[in-house]
Amino acid sequence: MLLDVVVDELDRRCVPFALIGAAALAVHGISRSTLDIDLLVTDRRVLDATFWAGLAADIERDSRPGDAADPLAGVIRFRALEERDVDIVVGRGEWNVDVVTRAENARHHGRDLPTARMEDLILLKLYAGGSQDRWDIEQLLATSDKAAVVGAVERSVDRLPPDAQRLWRVLRSE
């Protein structure tokens, strides 16, 4: 499985990561289908083509480093025939490091994977700020101990840009 190949390489190279996106939502009880599996890392070495030199030739890799204005350091998409794509999102900033550090192991695709905590998924979704992200946040809040999750998000939301903080003020009060 492609996910196993990518995760094994991250583990072999000692790169911490966290499962994010729809797969992490599923771990937290929110069912939403996507065509890929997303992992968050903060180690920029993964953007170097030589980092992945040991992968099989039939695995396609598309690496897109972010520029200075990009909120991400980059994204790498892995593709293999008849497999779900695996995207590595390379985050910037200390709060992204915290998301990866706080990740808790959860079972996904028959494997224990470090998975972003609910409040950290909300922070990532606020940062992204799209309509699907808003829906995801609403679902997470509706299926949780809302007061506890709101309190946890409140402790870190000031690390996000002002537009993400504004969105949070709206969503937490709904």
Q: What is the pLDDT of residue 59?
A: 94
Q: What is the pLDDT of residue 110?
A: 86
Q: Considering the domain 1-116 in this protein, what is its CATH number?
A: 3.30.460.40
Query: Does the structure show a pLDDT above 90 at 162?
Result: yes
pLDDT classification of 69: cutoffs 50, 70, 90:
confident
How far is residue 92's CA from residue 80's CA, in Å, rounded to a whole number?
27
pLDDT classification of 35: cutoffs 50, 70, 90:
confident
pTM of the shown model: 0.93
Beta strands in 21-166 (DSSP E): 36-41, 60-65, 72-79, 85-91, 104-108, 111-115
